[in-house]
A and B are shown apart, each in its own frame.
Chain A
Amino acid sequence: MMIADGIEDEEKWLAEGIAGIQHNAFYLHRAVDSNNLREALKYSAQLLSELRTSRLSPHKYYELYMRAFDELRRLEMFFKDEERHGCSVLDLYELVQHAGNVLPRLYLLCTVGSVYIKSKEAPAKDVLKDLVEMCRSVQHPIRGLFLRSYLAQISRDKLPDIGSEYEGDGDTVMDAVDFVLQNFTEMNKLWVRMQHQGPIRVKEKLDKERSELRDLVGKNLHVLSQIEGVDLEIYKDTVLPRVLEQVVNCKDELAQHYLMDCIIQVFPDEYHLQTLETLLGAFPQLQPAVDIKTVLSQLMDRLSNYAASSAEVLPEFLQVEAFAKLSNAIGKVIEAQVEMPVVGAISLYVSLLTFALRVHSDRLDYVDQVLGACVKKLSGSPKLEDNKATKQVVALLTAPLEKYNDIDTALTLSNYPHVMDHLDAGTNKIMAMVLIQSIMKYNTCVSTAEKVDVLFELIKGLIKDIDGTLADELDEEDFKEEQNSVARLVHMLYNDDPEEMLQIICTVRKHIMAGGPKRLPFTVPPLVFSALKLVRRLQGLDGEVAGEEVPATPRKIFQLLNQIIEALSNVPSPELALRLYLQCAEAANDCDLEPVAYEFFTQAFVLYEEEVADSKAQVTSIHLIIGTLQRMNAFGVENRDTLTHKATGYSAKLLKKPDQCRAVYACSHLFWVDDQDGIKDGERVLLCLKRSLRIANAAQQMANVTRGTGGPVTLFVEILNKYLYFFEKGNPQVTSAAIQDLIELIKTEMQSDTATPDPASDAFFACTLRYIEFQKQKGGAMGEKYDSVRI
């Protein structure tokens, strides 16, 4: 209620003030029009008396002031025209001082002063000095601020600057500087004092009111920056020290923040660079509540942009040791402001790091230094729980990655891992993912075992369970995503040199083995294939150089592979392990290492026997075994026999008859390899085919018994096709008579009473017959072969 009343009252008072001004203005204009100086002075003084009010807030006072200001402009024009009022400017200057109250007196004095300076009857510096001192009589904050603001406004174009028409003899630039500095200092004092004056108000309201007036104070700095005569010397020796003195001594946090900001914005970056030490020296002296990091960040941003603007300025940065100074300053600030929360300190380091990356991107030692300082700060504080602080640390770690697209650079920063150590487990993993994504995005290759080691240390949160966290706690989708990322990463680790590549593989192995059963199914396969690729590379080269123990040989790698795949037994992951063993067997075969290949097959079979229980999985696995075995050419007769015998045996023992049938006829290919040197054992081929035929028959009978109808004839058609295959290959054991018999059998089965119509098998059979016809039509050797087959 009170506040509402207050606002209403203010409106009333403002309206009254404006009315007062307008009233007096009317008479003033009349006086001026009739060149009546006395009257003009009288009414202008009355008009200005409205500005003596203490009842208005700054916002409202400003409105009143602007009206008075407009009137004073016209009055000034009148004063200037001596012919009209007949009073010399010197006399006028004295005359206005007879005004009754001090505020109107001073406004009038300033106005005349403007005319006085323009007349050049006295040096500008003298008049200005007089005015700035006289204004001291008004100590009320708001009134004083506006008065001095008026002085600043009218004096702005009349400063005795170099090249200005008001430049006098001697060092008048210094006079101009002194004038502005003095006005600034007094205005700042008044501004600060605002908070102590009047009834106790709510802090926010007060701060808001004060903020509204801040530009009045800041304007002076702007004026200083525009003075031509103020060069680096003067700035360094006079302007900056005196401004900073006032900033520090006023001990007001609002003023300090605003003014530091102002200094940085208003003066050229080149100056800041050259006065860096002085400027930075002020920061620790500021009030603890001042948000230094924003100001410092601003400064660093400006300097970064300055550096980016042209390459020529870069040496300057080095010459003034900008980085060192900024680094020290930040250190001092953090030390001095004990209350500063961790997030504040870290964000300062982020700004400094950004600066270093932009200005000194080649100086990795600077980057590392910043990280080191950060580590020190983090070590002294309890474990990070603050979200904002964590975000800042992640920003700190991400910045070098984005700057240098090459992960190698980040890996050489010795403090990088230490910073990561201070992240909580969750964020650590996020950061690890960021690292991996950076590598994937820029398609970079990590090329030495040493670097791989460092990298895997950095991402250890993904590689293994860090104390305290359990893999179970994690969401399954997230976990998969993480591990798939690690899997992808393995493919980015590569070196042309086989020795180094082997070292890389060993390093990766060392790390992933600590991953535990949940992670191994993701991390083992890519490592295995990486190793197999290396084997293939080595195949071309000589295995063992005479006399030298070459570490990287296929044999050694296969030993390693054996151990790696064996780890999957702890998971357990038998199907995966079986596939990988078969891959290795094939690779060993290509290297002509018979015992090694045999060993891998043994492993695969053992897994099949003991671990693969699911019937569907068995079917796939046995086909993989058969498919791989079929391609083996390194085996001697004995070994080959043992393995094919096993394969056929297991094929026949599959659960479902159709599966048995198919696996067994697949085994027929084990005895016939189309190569020049390949095995071509026609008899055993036929044995397999006949066996599968028996199984198909049994399946058919079973169907009749259990369901009353025959099963589909598909199996028979499949077997027929296999007969055709070997018939065409020239297996003497497969005769056209046998084929004929099969065709008849199928036809009989299809036409039987108990047959189940099946369009698929019908189509299959039709296609097969069509094929036979096609082959017959071919003529030549093939046509002859098929001649005796009637369809």
Chain B
Amino acid sequence: MVLVLAIGDLHVPYRAPDLPAKFKSMLVPGKIQHIICTGNLCIKEVHDYLKNLCPSLHITRGEYDEDAQYPETKTLTIGQFKLGLCHGHQVVPWGDLDSLAMLQRQLDVDILVTGHTHQFKAYKHEAGVVINPGSATGAYSSITYDVNPSFVLMDIDGLRVVVYVYELIDGEVKVDKIDFKKTGTATSHSAH
């Protein structure tokens, strides 16, 4: 059982002052094995905060990130799964599922994690699973109206990944989960 935190688009301090307090109290060091971050942190302080949560930190570059050295894309293997990471502003049209599918094929990964739209998404298509953890601070987006702060926690266990999405709605943290199973080369899913 490997816990992976997928988080991004915090936009601190240009669009939001900080993570919501309720999220901060939930995210404690030592519980998570990997963090994959879609980008747009934007400042070093946020980087250090995430690094402190978990030393295995993977970040891709968002268009407002202070550190221009983050890579455009990243791939890594966790257990039986190949994961791909990309902020998403590079994939036009923004948020378009089929265009994202192309990126997934290009990176040849089971799970693609992207951001930019600030809207949580988790769906399965032919090539695998695409996850968008949304914006952890609920930052303003030109694409999505009424953004609720959200992040995703993936529990990777063998050929199965359970995706937990945490959303802050009207001051309360709501959790939802989706199951995905990898069979051979393709991934199937069941939603809850």
Chain A residues close to B by CB (< 8 Å):
440, 443, 480, 484-485, 487-489, 491-492, 525-526, 529, 532-533, 536, 579, 583, 586-587, 620, 623-624, 626-628, 630-631, 666, 669, 673-674, 714, 717-718, 721-722, 725, 728, 760, 763-764, 767-768, 770-771, 774-775
B63 lies within 8 A of A728 (CB): no
- Partner among A627, A673, A760 whose Cβ is within 8 Å of the Cβ of B108: A760
Contacts of B94 in A (CB 8 A): 627, 630-631
- Partner among A485, A532, A627 whose Cβ is within 8 Å of the Cβ of B140: A532
Pairs A-B, 10 closest by C-beta atoms: A767-B105, A487-B13, A525-B14, A586-B142, A488-B17, A763-B108, A721-B102, A488-B13, A491-B17, A666-B92
| Majority secondary structure, A binding face | helix
In angstroms, how far is the closest chain A Cβ from the Cβ of B35? 22
24 example contacts (A-B, Cβ-Cβ < 8 A) are as follows A440-B18, A484-B45, A487-B13, A487-B14, A488-B18, A491-B15, A525-B64, A526-B14, A529-B15, A532-B140, A532-B142, A533-B140, A536-B140, A536-B145, A623-B90, A628-B142, A630-B92, A631-B143, A666-B92, A718-B102, A718-B106, A722-B102, A764-B106, A767-B108
Total interface residues on B, CB under 8 Å, equals 32
B89 within 8 A of A: yes
Q: A674 CA to B127 CA in the complex, in Å? A: 22
- Partner among B43, B90, B93, B108 whose Cβ is within 8 Å of the Cβ of A764: B108
Chain B residues close to A by CB (< 8 Å):
12-18, 21, 43, 45, 63-64, 89-90, 92-94, 96, 98-99, 101-102, 105-106, 108, 126-127, 140, 142-143, 145, 185
A440, A484, A529, most chain B CB atoms within 10 A: A484
In angstroms, how far is the closest chain A Cβ from the Cβ of B127? 6
Q: A579 CA to B40 CA in the complex, in Å? A: 13
Contacts of B21 in A (CB 8 A): 443
B14 lies within 8 A of A714 (CB): no
Contacts of A492 in B (CB 8 A): 17
- Nearest residue (CB) in A for B12 is A488
- Partner among A487, A491, A725 whose Cβ is within 8 Å of the Cβ of B99: A725
Q: A767 CA to B45 CA in the complex, in Å? A: 39
Q: A529-B15, A536-B140, A669-B92 are in contact. List 15 more A-B contacts (CB 8 A).
A: A485-B13, A525-B15, A579-B63, A583-B142, A620-B63, A627-B89, A669-B93, A669-B99, A673-B93, A674-B93, A714-B106, A721-B106, A763-B108, A767-B105, A768-B105
Contacts of B18 in A (CB 8 A): 440, 488
Contacts of A770 in B (CB 8 A): 126, 185
In angstroms, how far is the closest chain A Cβ from the Cβ of B149? 13
- Partner among B90, B98, B127 whose Cβ is within 8 Å of the Cβ of A728: B98
B93 lies within 8 A of A630 (CB): yes
Tally of A-B Cβ pairs under 8 angstroms:
96
In angstroms, how far is the closest chain B Cβ from the Cβ of A557? 14
A587, A624, A728, most chain B CB atoms within 10 A: A624
- Nearest residue (CB) in A for B145 is A536
Contacts of B17 in A (CB 8 A): 440, 488-489, 491-492
Q: A620 CA to B92 CA in the complex, in Å? A: 12
B89 lies within 8 A of A624 (CB): yes
Contacts of B89 in A (CB 8 A): 620, 623-624, 627
In angstroms, how far is the closest chain A Cβ from the Cβ of B75? 10
A626 lies within 8 A of B92 (CB): yes
- Nearest residue (CB) in B for A764 is B106
Contacts of B127 in A (CB 8 A): 767, 771
In angstroms, how far is the closest chain B Cβ from the Cβ of A352? 35
Q: A721 CA to B47 CA in the complex, in Å? A: 35
- Nearest residue (CB) in A for B68 is A616
- Nearest residue (CB) in B for A616 is B68
- Nearest residue (CB) in A for B44 is A480
Q: A532 CA to B11 CA in the complex, in Å? A: 15
Q: A423 CA to B12 CA in the complex, in Å? A: 31
In angstroms, how far is the closest chain A Cβ from the Cβ of B77? 14
Contacts of B126 in A (CB 8 A): 770-771, 774-775
- Nearest residue (CB) in A for B21 is A443
- Nearest residue (CB) in A for B45 is A484
Contacts of A623 in B (CB 8 A): 89-90, 92
A725 lies within 8 A of B98 (CB): yes
In angstroms, how far is the closest chain B Cβ from the Cβ of A372? 33
Q: A631 CA to B99 CA in the complex, in Å? A: 15
Contacts of B63 in A (CB 8 A): 579, 620, 624
Q: A674 CA to B94 CA in the complex, in Å? A: 12
Contacts of B15 in A (CB 8 A): 491, 525-526, 529
- Partner among B98, B106, B140 whose Cβ is within 8 Å of the Cβ of A529: B140
Contacts of A760 in B (CB 8 A): 108
Contacts of A763 in B (CB 8 A): 108
Contacts of A443 in B (CB 8 A): 21
Contact (A631, B93) CB under 8 Å given A440-B18, A491-B16: yes
